[in-house]
């Protein structure tokens, strides 16, 4: 066997320079950031919580002696980060200093997508939006306006929309990300996993990751706890077609054939039951449907799964034993982005069931019982009752969806004769829907059917190019936002306050929503004088104050209940139909779905095509950070991981630029560099999500790498809850785009 040595400097001076040895090639880049900051260090600091991703770590923004924002560091009291920000949070300063920021309101001139805008005043822009909203409400009803949000602004625009009479408020984090997980865990335990996940990783003895690449996703607290677990000698089992960073820290790496995870899970359940390795007392006391489960998986042997997953039976047995030995301090991690193949809720049900039979839910080193404090809503009149909801656009479909579907709202925008009303207006806040929703053609068709598209963002993301009105939001470093409250081992709240005045002609989302409310006669829903007054009122209800929070940033409250885990021997009632942990889901059975998961084979790549897997890189959050100078310094483009055997067949060398074409003939707009590596199977390729930007206003990331979303034209929708399965797409390579396109 030949040994290959693959040496990569993942960040830092002269990525290619170091490999050549000596004389590093220094990149000559604009040094505006450094020049602008100037000054020396100081200790002046203000609290914030991060907006670079959804983990929302609390920290401090430091200024230098010139009064300029200098650096951001974690708040030691904060459970999300324990005083340590991740690279994106640390690099959050780059968001503030980005010279490509949206600087003033824009109104489109010319047809949609043509990118001709004129600068407008706030008055003019807001008037235009309010007039557009009123017109839609008059002609079609207020429900025909939808909000897509992925950020703090959702609180204000959501309030505005509810007051206006529309319940159509969606975050892509549900149907494009963790929705199936929540539905599966609610069906099993009567509770979701929530965010930050209630995984007790720091005390676990065995952590099982299935396609979850902790360490490449920088879900901060989890990365930290995984490191603590490694220190304490926990074993990690990683199931991934790619030798992920986590796989390299693992006792077992199971390079599974993509799309077969459910078979592996069922075989694990089978062997743990057959061998009697399950937690008999826990199963008896807390669960419902064990006999049905046992019967269901009786033929799902490791040998059966081997033929499907390519994981050898002895490895399936050994890893099952490893989990059982650690139980109940074992976590089969529910993952986060789980919308893969369309049967995702069922796969996550298998994850939930496996945890249940090992007795890890509610146990130390398994899943803890989180606690959260609720921040009182600022008083307002009752919201009007909407006449219609998004559900009516999908009669009889997705009965188990607990939240609105971003993809559903998008689909419900494309006019359809069977529907009495389609959505006519979109407010889009902090989410680049072009890169967020699969099937870009569909998204653009929906956009072209709109009467009004308003986009609120800090950066000229692709979605802003389609907008009628663009509202430039100031960054999180320049504004107050709602108090952060999230479930954790103890309830905590965190404050975000401005470290600097908004740059350019930008404004906080709260101000925009309030201004729109004035124009829509909904001011009474925004009755506070200022954010300071509102936050102070809220904080006083909790026994704190704005003054205190400005000083401490994070405040911890005692738990309402003492126990982080189920007390020994206590009777517990779960919020399910049977009051038990449902191994057999009565809810799914009632809704006409498999009460216990069943493996179904998924389509395989045609000859010469490879399954497109995508994921995260530690320095970036979706497409949100791709233009951030501090983070492009770490990673400025994505690359395509290709197995050396495949590369040899195609004659592809590392670093070579290649174009991609998917099963539907869609071609990548830009080429992507190949990374030929032993770290991936031969039947799939991998790239980090969020690159291949085609908006030229994003000067640092324009045309860098390829967009995975553009290749995701085929969507496998989860019939239970509408999640958009995105990993059933296959790509092939070509080298000369012009010729190839001519043959299409």
Residues 590-629 contacting other proteins, CB under 8 A: 618-619, 629
Alpha-carbon span 463 to 695, nearest angstrom: 9
Stretch that binds other proteins, among 32-40, 191-199, 380-388, 489-497 (CB under 8 A): 32-40
Based on the shown chain and the rule CB under 8 A, indicate whether residue 316 belongs to the binding site for other proteins.
Answer: no
Please pick, from the candidates 99, 124, 127, 216, the single residue that binds other proteins as defined by CB under 8 A. Answer: 216
Residues of span 528-587 touching other proteins by CB under 8 A: none
Stretch that binds other proteins, among 133-141, 227-235, 579-587, 734-742 (CB under 8 A): 227-235
| CA dist list (Å): 597 to 42, 184, 261, 436, 584 | 58, 10, 12, 28, 9
Stretch that binds other proteins, among 150-158, 190-198, 242-250, 702-710 (CB under 8 A): 242-250
Nearer to other proteins, 225 or 473 (CB): 225
Least gap, CB of 1 to other proteins (angstroms): 6
Alpha-carbon span 19 to 89, nearest angstrom: 29
Stretch that binds other proteins, among 68-76, 561-569, 714-722, 724-732 (CB under 8 A): 68-76
- Mark 195-226 as b/e (b = at least 16 C-beta within 10 Å): bbbbbbbbbbbbbbbbbbbbbbbbbbbbbbbb
Q: Are strands 730-734 and 610-615 parallel, antiparallel or unpaired?
A: antiparallel
Least gap, CB of 104 to other proteins (angstroms): 25
Output the furthest CA–CA distance in the chain (Å, rounded). 74
Based on the shown chain and the rule CB under 8 A, indicate whether residue 204 belongs to the binding site for other proteins.
Answer: no
Based on the shown chain and the rule CB under 8 A, indicate whether residue 65 belongs to the binding site for other proteins.
Answer: no
Stretch that binds other proteins, among 23-31, 125-133, 203-211, 583-591 (CB under 8 A): 23-31
Based on the shown chain and the rule CB under 8 A, indicate whether residue 634 belongs to the binding site for other proteins.
Answer: yes
Alpha-carbon span 71 to 661, nearest angstrom: 42
Based on the shown chain and the rule CB under 8 A, indicate whether residue 500 belongs to the binding site for other proteins.
Answer: no
What is the DSSP annotation of 254-315? Answer: E-PPTT-HHHHHHHHHHHHHHTT-S-HHHHHHHEE-HHHHHHHTTT--HHHHHHHH---HHH
Contact criterion met (CB below 8 Å) for 677 and 642: yes
Please pick, from the candidates 245, 556, 578, 694, the single residue that binds other proteins as defined by CB under 8 A. Answer: 245
Identify the CA nearest to 95 among candidates 692, 615, 624, 742: 624
Based on the shown chain and the rule CB under 8 A, indicate whether residue 9 belongs to the binding site for other proteins.
Answer: yes
Based on the shown chain and the rule CB under 8 A, indicate whether residue 3 belongs to the binding site for other proteins.
Answer: yes
Nearer to other proteins, 24 or 591 (CB): 24
8-state DSSP, 75:
-
Q: List Cβ neighbours of 640 (8 Å cut-off, separation of 6 or more).
A: 658, 660, 672, 673, 674, 675, 685, 686, 687, 706
Contact criterion met (CB below 8 Å) for 559 and 371: yes
Stretch (H or E) spanning 454? strand 452-457
Nearer to other proteins, 28 or 742 (CB): 28
Please pick, from the candidates 238, 319, 677, 732, the single residue that binds other proteins as defined by CB under 8 A. Answer: 677
Based on the shown chain and the rule CB under 8 A, indicate whether residue 66 belongs to the binding site for other proteins.
Answer: no
Q: List Cβ neighbours of 58 (8 Å cut-off, separation of 6 or more).
A: 47, 48, 49, 50, 74, 75, 77, 78, 80, 81, 484, 492, 494, 495, 553, 554
Please pick, from the candidates 90, 355, 486, 662, the single residue that binds other proteins as defined by CB under 8 A. Answer: 90
Least gap, CB of 30 to other proteins (angstroms): 7
Based on the shown chain and the rule CB under 8 A, indicate whether residue 45 belongs to the binding site for other proteins.
Answer: no
Stretch that binds other proteins, among 134-142, 162-170, 220-228, 576-584 (CB under 8 A): 220-228
Nearer to other proteins, 31 or 374 (CB): 31
Based on the shown chain and the rule CB under 8 A, indicate whether residue 33 belongs to the binding site for other proteins.
Answer: yes
Based on the shown chain and the rule CB under 8 A, indicate whether residue 704 belongs to the binding site for other proteins.
Answer: no
Alpha-carbon span 491 to 631, nearest angstrom: 32
- For residue 416, the tally of other CB atoms under 10 A from its CB is 11
Based on the shown chain and the rule CB under 8 A, indicate whether residue 12 belongs to the binding site for other proteins.
Answer: yes
- For residue 325, the tally of other CB atoms under 10 A from its CB is 13
Please pick, from the candidates 164, 243, 288, 390, the single residue that binds other proteins as defined by CB under 8 A. Answer: 243
Please pick, from the candidates 70, 306, 340, 525, the single residue that binds other proteins as defined by CB under 8 A. Answer: 70
Which region holds residue 78: left if phi is over 0, alpha if psi is between -120 and 50, else beta? beta
Contact criterion met (CB below 8 Å) for 588 and 596: no
Alpha-carbon span 198 to 484, nearest angstrom: 17
Based on the shown chain and the rule CB under 8 A, indicate whether residue 24 belongs to the binding site for other proteins.
Answer: yes
Contact mark string toward other proteins, 381..410, x via CB under 8 A = ------------------------------
Nearer to other proteins, 3 or 743 (CB): 3
Residues of span 122-161 touching other proteins by CB under 8 A: none
Please pick, from the candidates 56, 63, 71, 181, the single residue that binds other proteins as defined by CB under 8 A. Answer: 71
Least gap, CB of 57 to other proteins (angstroms): 10
Please pick, from the candidates 323, 450, 680, 685, the single residue that binds other proteins as defined by CB under 8 A. Answer: 680
Least gap, CB of 86 to other proteins (angstroms): 6
Q: List Cβ neighbours of 233 (8 Å cut-off, separation of 6 or more).
A: none
Count of alpha carbons within 13 Å of 315, Cβ hemisphere only?
A: 17
- Mark 66-87 as b/e (b = at least 16 C-beta within 10 Å): eebbbbbbbbebbbbbbebbbb
Least gap, CB of 259 to other proteins (angstroms): 18
Please pick, from the candidates 6, 65, 392, 740, the single residue that binds other proteins as defined by CB under 8 A. Answer: 6
Contact criterion met (CB below 8 Å) for 289 and 582: yes
Stretch that binds other proteins, among 86-94, 111-119, 572-580, 727-735 (CB under 8 A): 86-94
Least gap, CB of 617 to other proteins (angstroms): 9
Based on the shown chain and the rule CB under 8 A, indicate whether residue 84 belongs to the binding site for other proteins.
Answer: yes
Based on the shown chain and the rule CB under 8 A, indicate whether residue 475 belongs to the binding site for other proteins.
Answer: no
Based on the shown chain and the rule CB under 8 A, indicate whether residue 25 belongs to the binding site for other proteins.
Answer: no
Stretch that binds other proteins, among 172-180, 223-231, 463-471, 688-696 (CB under 8 A): 223-231
Please pick, from the candidates 16, 34, 114, 387, the single residue that binds other proteins as defined by CB under 8 A. Answer: 34
Residues of span 429-468 touching other proteins by CB under 8 A: none
Based on the shown chain and the rule CB under 8 A, indicate whether residue 4 belongs to the binding site for other proteins.
Answer: yes
Please pick, from the candidates 2, 374, 575, 743, the single residue that binds other proteins as defined by CB under 8 A. Answer: 2
The residue count for binding other proteins (CB under 8 A) is 76
Stretch that binds other proteins, among 105-113, 123-131, 218-226, 498-506 (CB under 8 A): 218-226
Based on the shown chain and the rule CB under 8 A, indicate whether residue 643 belongs to the binding site for other proteins.
Answer: yes
Alpha-carbon span 529 to 532, nearest angstrom: 8
Alpha-carbon span 247 to 668, nearest angstrom: 30
Give me the residues paired with residue 371 across strands: 488
Alpha-carbon span 50 to 48, nearest angstrom: 6
Which region holds residue 702: left if phi is over 0, alpha if psi is between -120 and 50, else beta? beta
| CA dist list (Å): 66 to 43, 242, 529 | 12, 47, 31
Least gap, CB of 333 to other proteins (angstroms): 16
Based on the shown chain and the rule CB under 8 A, indicate whether residue 642 belongs to the binding site for other proteins.
Answer: no
8-state DSSP, 89:
H
Based on the shown chain and the rule CB under 8 A, indicate whether residue 26 belongs to the binding site for other proteins.
Answer: yes
């Amino acid at each position: 066997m030949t040994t290959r040595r693959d040496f990569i400097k993942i960040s830092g001076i002269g990525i290619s320079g170091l490999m050549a040895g000596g004389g590093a090639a220094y990149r000559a880049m604009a040094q505006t950031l450094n020049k602008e900051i100037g000054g020396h260090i100081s200790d002046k600091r203000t609290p914030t919580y991060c907006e670079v991703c959804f983990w929302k770590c609390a920290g401090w923004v430091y200024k230098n002696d010139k009064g300029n924002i200098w650096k951001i560091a974690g708040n030691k009291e904060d459970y999300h980060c324990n005083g340590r920000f991740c690279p994106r949070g640390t690099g959050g300063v780059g968001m503030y200093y980005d010279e490509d920021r949206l600087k003033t309101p824009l109104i489109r001139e010319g047809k949609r997508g043509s990118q001709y805008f004129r600068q407008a005043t706030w008055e003019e822009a807001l008037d235009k939006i309010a007039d557009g909203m009123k017109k839609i409400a008059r002609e079609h009803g207020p429900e025909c306006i939808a909000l897509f949000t992925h950020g703090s602004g959702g609180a204000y625009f959501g309030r505005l929309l509810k007051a206006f009479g529309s319940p159509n408020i969606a975050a892509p984090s549900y149907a494009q990300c963790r929705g199936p997980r929540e539905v599966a865990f609610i069906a099993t335990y009567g509770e979701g996993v929530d965010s930050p996940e209630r995984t007790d990783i720091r005390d676990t003895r065995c952590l099982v990751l299935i396609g979850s690449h902790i360490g490449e996703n920088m879900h901060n607290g989890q990365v930290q706890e995984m490191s603590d677990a490694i220190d304490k000698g926990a074993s990690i089992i990683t199931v991934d077609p790619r030798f992920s960073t986590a796989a390299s820290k693992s006792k077992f790496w199971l390079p599974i054939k993509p799309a077969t995870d459910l078979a592996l899970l069922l075989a694990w359940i089978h062997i743990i039951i057959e061998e009697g390795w399950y937690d008999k007392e826990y199963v008896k006391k807390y669960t419902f449907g064990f006999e049905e489960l046992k019967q269901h998986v009786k033929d799902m042997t490791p040998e059966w799964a081997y033929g499907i997953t390519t994981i050898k039976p002895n490895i399936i047995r050994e890893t099952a034993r490893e989990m059982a030995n650690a139980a109940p301090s074992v976590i089969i991690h529910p993952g986060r982005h789980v919308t893969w193949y369309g049967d995702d809720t069922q796969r996550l049900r298998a994850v939930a069931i496996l945890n249940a039979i090992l007795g890890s839910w509610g146990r130390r080193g398994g899943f803890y019982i989180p606690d959260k404090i609720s921040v009182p809503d600022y008083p307002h009149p009752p919201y009007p009752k909407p006449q219609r909801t998004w559900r009516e656009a999908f009669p009889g479909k997705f009965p188990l969806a607990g939240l609105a579907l971003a993809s559903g709202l998008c689909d419900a925008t494309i006019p359809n004769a069977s529907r009495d009303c389609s959505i006519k207006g979109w407010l889009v806040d902090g989410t680049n829907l072009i890169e967020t929703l699969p099937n870009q053609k569909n998204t653009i068709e929906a956009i072209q059917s709109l009467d009004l598209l308003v986009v609120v963002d800090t950066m000229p993301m692709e979605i802003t190019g389609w907008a009628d009105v663009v509202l430039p939001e100031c960054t999180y470093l320049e504004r107050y936002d709602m108090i952060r409250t999230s479930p954790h081992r103890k309830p905590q709240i965190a404050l975000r306050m401005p470290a600097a005045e908004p740059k350019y002609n930008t404004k906080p989302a709260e101000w925009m929503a309030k201004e729109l409310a004035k124009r829509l006669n909904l001011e009474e829903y925004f009755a506070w004088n200022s954010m300071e007054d509102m936050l102070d009122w809220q904080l006083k209800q909790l026994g704190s104050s704005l003054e205190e929070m400005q000083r401490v940033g994070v405040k911890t409250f005692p738990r309402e209940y003492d126990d982080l885990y189920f007390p020994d021997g206590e009777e517990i009632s779960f919020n399910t139909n049977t009051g038990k942990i449902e191994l057999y889901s009565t809810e799914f059975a009632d809704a006409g779905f498999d009460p216990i998961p069943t493996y179904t084979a998924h389509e395989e790549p045609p000859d010469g095509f490879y399954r497109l897997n995508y994921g995260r890189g530690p320095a970036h959050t979706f497409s949100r950070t791709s233009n951030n100078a501090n983070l492009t310094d770490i990673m400025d483009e994505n690359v395509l991981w290709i197995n050396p055997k495949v590369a040899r067949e195609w004659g592809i060398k590392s670093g070579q630029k290649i174009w991609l074409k998917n099963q539907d003939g869609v071609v990548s707009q830009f080429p992507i560099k190949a990374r030929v590596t032993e770290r991936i199977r031969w039947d799939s390729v991998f790239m980090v999500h969020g690159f291949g930007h085609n908006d030229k206003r994003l000067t640092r990331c324009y045309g860098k790498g390829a967009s995975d979303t553009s290749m995701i034209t085929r969507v496998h929708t989860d019939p239970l809850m509408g999640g958009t399965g995105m990993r059933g797409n296959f790509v092939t390579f070509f080298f000369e785009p012009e010729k190839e396109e001519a043959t299409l």
